Amino acid sequence: MKPGIHPHYDYVVIQDRTTGVAFLTRSTATSDRTITWEDGRTYPLVSVDVTTASHPYWTGGRRVLDSAGQVEKFRRRYGDGR
C-alpha cells in the first residue's frame, strides 16, 4: 500500500443513540469522545442513529397500516364496485 494516503483504521466503540447498545469493532471513523470498554482499555466512542439494535428490519418492528381505512378510501373514490 502507498504510505500516507490511507485513513487510520483502528478499534472504536460504536453506540446506538436510540437503544444505548454498544459494540467494539474496527473502523476509520474517529471521535473526540472516549469510553472504557469491558476489557479495561479506552477506545474512541462513535455514536450513530441506527444499528441492528434499533432498525426495524432486524428488530421485527413494522409500520402499522390502517388497512380498513385504505379500503374505505378506495370505496369512496371508486364506488362500491358491485
User: For 28-80, what is each residue's pLDDT tens digit?
Assistant: 998 999 999 999 999 999 988 887 777 666 556 665 556 667 777 778 888 76
**Burial (0-12, 13-18, 19+ Cβ within 10 Å), 79:** exposed
- Of 18, 21, 15, the C-alpha closest to 44 is 15
What's the pTM value of the predicted model, to 2 decimals?
Answer: 0.63
> What are the grid coordinates assigned to 51, written together?
444499528
Q: Strand order in 34-36's β-sheet? A: 22-27, 10-16, 42-48, 34-36
Task: Name the residue with cell 502507498.
Answer: 2
